[in-house]
Structure 1
């Protein structure tokens, strides 16, 4: 069975181009790690801080690395997420490549910028994940804990409109938003996404102001 971070990345990736939205997705994957560990009983949120269970090991190197770090010192979810804004797509893209669900394509733009794409190689797992999420988003079935966590993370990472766009997807987006409001990991991701978006907006506004001043 794939983990929550793997499921989230599969849903985010375009099957043909192998691209995924950047920025918030890294935060979403980090939040999915926390949710996966919490579901497995390896991590608890107590007094507003993340506490790793003393005997916790999952057998998954990526998740166990998280447990090792959190075992050193309990931290607030926001502090943990803010330290993991980059590299999550690459880490789990590599995982999906190793398991044969995607292929990894690397290219260079202008001879400097390296881009990574992960086109689908086997869509059967993603189809199953999407079917379970669709059933919950359209209220055909009550969500189990794992699918509820996935749905809430889809909302928190800004993927709901991509998966359920337009007027037809409005009810599904509303359902996922309600799930996110009741999940601590997703609420933490949403707050960090909002802060990151505000910072980007401020940077853009400052750049525009400088450009306008230079041109006047």
Structure 2
């Protein structure tokens, strides 16, 4: 099974260097897992009620998922009721390496462990087979630049990319401006590519990703100024 989070990781990595384009990649991946669990009907993500109340996530009774990453995510959700924002952070922890290894096993990425300045360990994931990513970008281009109707997976991926302002960087614009592609991505994210309950849950998971990124950025800024 190919996860939405795996597709998202490919789109967020620099193909040649194998480094993430965003410092919030792990939070994005956590959001992708939560969104896919919602898409599969394994969890419900309640709508955020007011400024001071976060969306809550609950397991749907009897829910079963096949992929081990999603199973582990579902088990985490089942531990106790948590906010969607908290779960995005927890789900994303260590996920980049786990997904990277899966993509290495499929011959898509290569793992390179090294030390920056001879001191700081770093893992890079350069691409060795671009076939899948090229197909993925064609699907996104058809949706965002040619007006094709997205399926549920593509709609979810567009919603996640739009939330972190990466949609326009993931496609061939085909003559459109970045602003036009961004606008189309927002329209897709808010569109009717899935049943209302599922789409609303995915949108709540996406909003939680944005909130987690904002909280992380604020914390980093505060630490840097202290």
- What range describes the TM-score normalised by the shorter chain of this pair? 0.7 to 0.9
The answer on 1:176 being equivalent to 2:196 is no
Residue 191 (structure 1) aligns with: 211
Q: 1:99 to 1:164 in 2, by over 3 A?
A: closer
Contact 1:25 1:157 in 2 (8 A): no
Contact 1:106 1:114 in 2 (8 A): yes
Question: Scaled by the length of structure 1, what TM-score is found?
Answer: 0.84
Q: CA deviation at 1:84?
A: 4.4
Q: 1:97 to 1:22 in 2, by over 3 A?
A: same
What per-residue deviation string (whole Å, max 9, x for no partner) do you get for residues 51-72 of structure 1? 1233333221111111111112
Q: CA deviation at 1:33?
A: 0.2
1:136-175 maps to which residues of 2 (within 5 A)?
Answer: 136-163=143-170, 168-175=177-184
Which SS does the other structure have where 1:83 is aligned? helix
Matched positions, count: 206
Distance 2:213 2:220 in 1: 10
Q: CA deviation at 1:165?
A: 9.5
Give the counterpart of 2:73 among 46, 66, 69.
Answer: 66
Residue 115 (structure 1) aligns with: 122
More helix per residue: 1
Q: 1:112 to 1:55 in 2, by over 3 A?
A: farther
How much is the aligned-residue C-alpha RMSD, in angstroms? 2.3
Q: Tell me which moved more, 147-156 or 166-175.
A: 166-175
Q: CA deviation at 1:107?
A: 0.6
Task: List runs of 5+ in structure 2 lacking aligned partners.
Answer: 48-54, 191-199
Q: Could you say which structure has the greater relative contact order, defined with CA pairs below 8 angstroms and 6 or more residues apart? A: 2
Q: Tell me which moved more, 127-136 or 47-56.
A: 47-56
Task: List runs of 5+ in structure 1 lacking aligned partners.
Answer: 208-216
Q: 1:49 to 1:97 in 2, by over 3 A?
A: same
Q: CA deviation at 1:102?
A: 0.7
Q: Tell me which moved more, 67-76 or 30-39.
A: 67-76
